Amino acid sequence: MAALLEVKNLVKKYKTVTAIDGASFSVEKGVCFGLLGPNGAGKTTTIEVIEDVIPPTAGEILYKGRPRTVSFKDEIGIQFQTTSLLSFLTVRETLETFQNLYRKAADIDNLVELCHLSEFQHQYNDKISGGQRQRFLLAMALINRPELLFLDEPSTGLDPQARRNLWDLIQQIKKEGKTIILTTHYMEEAQHLCNEIAIMDYGKIIARGTPQKLIKQHSPEMTVVLPLQSVNHSLENLPLPYRRVHDTIEIKTNDVNSCLDLLLSQRVNLSDLTVRSPSLESVFLNLTGRQLRE
């Protein structure tokens, strides 16, 4: 499949700070591409350079195999992390206002139906809930019928139900053939939505692939979790490496069956045992570390 977007050796410097340090990746048409990384990794700067919001210091960005032209901004939709809305306009009036800015605009009624806005389309912008606001902002990003859609942390601050509703909506947009570039701090969200992922740290792309490929390469082990009280009497004789986490112990293993056999041989009570499959979150932590960054 041909790449819709290619980023080659992208660099962005601010005096003595290098925000993007030679990042390269491509995004195929019709996929959801996730750009992940800790705070300060360079994700948002990379997105803003690609969107043509800020200029790069060096590097090349190709759209449909060619350098971006003036028409590029007409063919992309952007949902920013934060967007200020006019409080004296209703949701529908705002959509109509933005619709008039484009030659190739979406039908308002279709957007209202797609993004589930009908119940609050006549409410003022400052009178809607967080979940409603995110669906509304997504509708605004779709107003010009974009081929390429940028979603910068679209579910931040949403409760679990609203987040799941937003995921369903993004999946529906994917089925319509849109290409999506997504940034998020929720690893479950990235694993659920993204066909391919690039992990960024200190301005560099440090890993890239499908969620399944990244998990297999960087975090293949299963985690067996037991309450400490189940193994207290056998800890000294436990023939497996483990670590204590609060009132549990965690055992990493590539062979769950053998691990359980060993535990049973030590007469460990397995009644309250849980097994955690490797996830994108464990990949992320293994690659970028566990230290909190501001």
Query: 222-227 and 204-209: which strand pairing?
Result: unpaired
Q: What is the pLDDT of residue 292?
A: 47
Q: Where are the domains of the chain?
A: 3-217, 221-277
Give per-residue burial for 5-41: e unless 16+ CB within 10 Å, then b: bbbeebbbeeeeebbbbebebbbeebbbbbbbbbeeb
* CATH fold of 3-217: Rossmann fold (3.40.50)
Q: Kindly report the three-state secondary structure assignment for every residue of the chain.
A: CCEEEEEEEEEEEECCEEEEEEEEEEEECCCEEEEECCCCCCHHHHHHHHCCCCCCCEEEEEECCEECCHHHHHCEEEECCCCCCCCCCEHHHHHHHHHCCCCCCCCHHHHHHHCCCHHHCCCEHHHCCHHHHHHHHHHHHCCCCCCEEEEECCCCCCCHHHHHHHHHHHHHHHHCCCEEEEECCCHHHHHHHCCEEEEEECCEEEEEECHHHHHHHHCCCEEEEEEHHHHHHHHHHCCCCCEEECCEEEEEECCHHHHHHHHHHCCCCCCCCEEECCCHHHHHHHHHCCCCCC
- pLDDT tens across the length of the chain (294 residues): 679 999 999 999 999 999 999 999 999 999 999 999 998 899 999 999 999 999 999 999 999 999 999 899 999 999 987 788 888 999 999 999 999 998 889 999 999 999 999 999 999 999 999 889 999 999 999 999 999 999 999 998 888 998 999 999 999 999 999 999 999 999 999 999 999 999 999 999 999 999 999 999 998 888 999 998 887 666 777 777 888 888 898 998 888 999 999 888 888 889 899 998 888 998 998 898 865 455
Q: What is the pLDDT of residue 252?
A: 87
Query: 222-227 and 274-276: which strand pairing?
Result: antiparallel
Q: For the structural domain made of 221-277, what CATH number should be given?
A: 3.30.70
